[in-house]
Amino acid sequence: MSKTQQSFNPNPIRFYALRHYFVILVLMGLLSALIGRALYIQIVDKDFLSNQGVQRQIRTIETPAYRGTITDRYGTPLAISTPVDSVWVNPAEILRNLSALKQVVKKLKLDYPETISMLKQKADKEFVYLKRHLEPELAKQVAEGVDGVYLQREYHRYYPAGEVVSHIVGYTDIDDRGQEGLELVYQDWLKAQPGQRRVIRNRKGAVVEEIAQVKPARSGNDLTSSIDMRLQYIAYRSLVRAINYHAAKSGSAVLLDVRSGEILAMVNQPSYNPNQRKNQNPAQRRNRALTDVFEPGSAIKPFTLAAAIDRGLFDNESRIDTAPGWFMVKGHPIKDIRNYGELDLAGVLRKSSNVGASRIALSMRPKDLWQSFKNYGFGEPSGVSFPAESAGYLSHYSDWQTLDHATMGFGYGLSVSITQLARAYAVIANGGQEIELSLIKKEPQKAIENQIMRHVMKPSTAAMMMEMLEQVVGSSGTATRAAIPGYRIAGKTGTAKKSTDGGYQQDNYIAVFAGIAPASNPRLVMAVMIDEPTQNGYYGGKVAAPVFQEVMSNALRILDIAPDDLPALQAGITDTEQGA
C-alpha cells in the first residue's frame, strides 16, 4: 500500500474512541435532563401535581333527596317516592372488559351491539347511564364485582291509586319532573333539592372516606289535595259502570263542597295508569272534567230563569205560554217534545221546555243575559289553575243573532266544562254567592270565611231556583232517577245534540245532570256528563242522573250529613214494613 493511500485511511482506534465519548455525552445529557425534570417536579410543580393526584381520588357526588308526597285530604298517599338504583358506567373502564359488559347487558336486557356503539360514542365521558330506576336488589346483582359498573341511588314516583286519581295527580318523568296534573302545577313545591358531598373513592369507584358535606339535601314539600279517596273510588266505579252500560265514548263527574269550594272527587273515562306510561294514548291523559267542553243543553235553563228573575222580569206568579209546543225564530223552529201549554216558571224547568226557556231569554236584552252568564262563571276559567284548563266558550253579545239569543236560553251556542257547570250550580246552592274552587285542601278558617268572593245572584232568586229544581227531581220531573230517600234533592237534566263542522248530529248526544244535596241546607254539588251514550237510553235523566244518585247517596252517608226529608223517609220505611 502506498503512502498516499495510508494518509486517507482514518485510525480505527481513534474512530471508536470518539464514538464512545459521543455516547457517554448523550447519556450524560439525558441523565441531566431527567435530574432536572425530577427537580422541577419535586420543587416547582409539586403543589400542582399533588393537587391533580388528589383530584383523581376525591369526587363531589350527589346526595339524593325524595320528592314531596301528595295525599288526599285525610293523608291517604296518592303519589310517593320509592328508592331505586340506576346503573351507570365509565366507558373507558368497561370497554376494557367486554366479557363482563356482555353479562351486565344481558342482565339488564339491553341490546349488546347498540350498547357498545353508544359507549364508544361517549368514550370521552366518565359517567353514562346503562339503565335507570331498577329495584335495588336487582341493581346490586348487576353491578356486584364488575369493575367500571356502578350504582346511583335515585327515587322513583309511585301512584298507589293508579288510574282512579291519575287525571288529578298526573305523573313525573324519569328525572322526577312533573309532567301533568298536580305534579306539574306544584313542581316547584314538590321537587327535591339534591345535596352534594365530597368523598374519596378507590380505583374501583367505591367510597372509602367521607370528607365533607358541601350542600345538604332537601326533600320536597308535601301536598295535601282536597280529594276524598273514599268518594273518589265510588265516583270512579259508578262512572265506569255507566260508560260500559250505555256503551258511551267518555264521561266525567265532579263532586264539590259548596261551602269551601273544595273538589272532593273528580273522575274521567277513559283513564290511564300513571305507573305504566309507555305507549299510552295522549287522549287518555286528558283531564276531561277541566279540558273538554260541550254544549250543556237544558242544564243551563236554571240560569236563564235566574237572570230574568234577578232583573224583575218574572216571579213565582209568572206564566209562560208554550203552546202549540213550538215557535219560529228567524225561520228556524224551536220545539218541545210535546205541547205543554201554559207553564209557570217551575213548570218550565220541570218539563224542560225549550220554548219556555227561549221566550224568557228573548225577554232580556242580549247584554243582560250575557252578563249574567259571565257572572255565573260561564266563559271563564274555573279557578282551579290546572294545565290546559278550558275557559269554555261564550261569545260576546254583540255577535249574537236573534236565533243565538233564543237558543242560548236552553244551552245551545255556548260551551262549558263539567267543572264550570258544577261551580255554577254551587252559586245557587250557596245562596247566590260565587265560590273559589280548589283541588288543594284549604285551611279550615279560610275554607269558609275567605273563599266566598261576591254575590252574583240575589239570595231570593237562588232560593226560588232551589225550590224549582227540587220539583225537577220530584215525581213529575225529568230527574226522578236522581232522588235519594230521606233527602231533598235539587237538580236539572240536560240532553244536547253534539255539534260538528257540518251542524248538529242527529244520533249523537251529551247526557248531563247537575244536582245539589241536601236542598234544605246545601252541602254538596255534583255534575255528571256522559258523552255519546249509544245503548239503554241517551237522556240526561236516564244516563247521568243515576250516577249522581249512586255517588251522592254514598257521599251523604260517608260524610254523615243528616237527612232533611224525614217524613218521606218514614213513609218509605212504613211502606216497606207493610209490604213485608
- The active-site residue out of 225, 298, 352, 372 is 298
Query: Is 434 in contact with 456 (CB distance < 8 Å)?
Result: yes
Peptide bond into 485 cis (omega under 30): no
Query: Is 299 in contact with 493 (CB distance < 8 Å)?
Result: yes
Q: Find the helix or strand (DSSP H, E) in which 231 lies.
A: helix 229-245
Residue 382 is a catalytic residue: no
Pairing type for strands 70-71 and 223-224 reads parallel
The 10 Å Cβ neighbour count of residue 220 is: 22
Amino acid at 261: G
The 10 Å Cβ neighbour count of residue 418 is: 29
∠ Cα 481 486 489 (to 5°): 50
Block residue for cell numbers 265514548? 249
- What lies within 8 Å, CB to CB, of 411 at 6+ separation is 295, 296, 297, 298, 299, 300, 301, 494, 496
Among 506, 509, 508, which Cα is nearest to 496's?
509
> What are φ and ψ of residue 216, in 5° steps?
-70, 145
The set of cell numbers assigned to 35 is 435530574
> Is the torsion defined by CA of 167, 168, 173, 174 positive or negative?
negative
CA distance 65 to 212: 18
Q: Which residues pair with 129 in a beta bridge?
A: 88
Residues designated catalytic: 298
